[in-house]
Amino acid sequence: AADPGDCDDTDATVYPGAAEQLDGVDDDCDGMVDEGLLPFGSIVITEIMKNPDEVCDDDGEWFELHNVSVLDVNLYGLEVADLDTDAFTIDADLWLAPGDYAVIAASGDPAINGGVNADFAWEDFSLSNNGDDEIVLNFGGIELDRVVFGDAPWPDATGVAASLGWPGYDATAND
């Protein structure tokens, strides 16, 4: 009989309590893939819109993530926080193939967020448009990337996103 807690009865190495492997599979059946195994810098913050001008901040803020690893990565379970009290967890499957991008936004509705096609919309999070703030990505206890920003020398013009230029897509270039 099938084990109701086992997420893949066809693979004997996949079961609740199994050791997670860096293989793109949910080996321990906890709903997250490769948690705790993706190294720092495997998912990079490449663009931040902290002060939109077409719509209010609560609707128009967003940031972009880029998968620089060689694995397909499911961002389900990715924790996003600042160094204060704002935080959320991606609670839906959001797969990024190597080289893919995802936009994480305050609103998932392009009709009210300034026309942004968001891959995931957060709740209870805000990017400070008039001061210092941070975006910290944690996955399975590993910090993947951190961007700390403020007014200067960061671009702070209303309606302009701060973008990391190619080929500098790594977790230290966006600092």
Give the residue, 152 or 94, on which the prediction is more confident: 94
138-155 per-position pLDDT tens digit? 987 889 999 888 766 666
Burial of 85 (0-12, 13-18, 19+ CB in 10 A): exposed
Q: How big is the CA angle at 43 (ends 91 and 135), to the nearest 5 degrees?
A: 70
The residue to which tokens 């495997």 are assigned: 42
Percent share of the chain, pLDDT over 90: 35
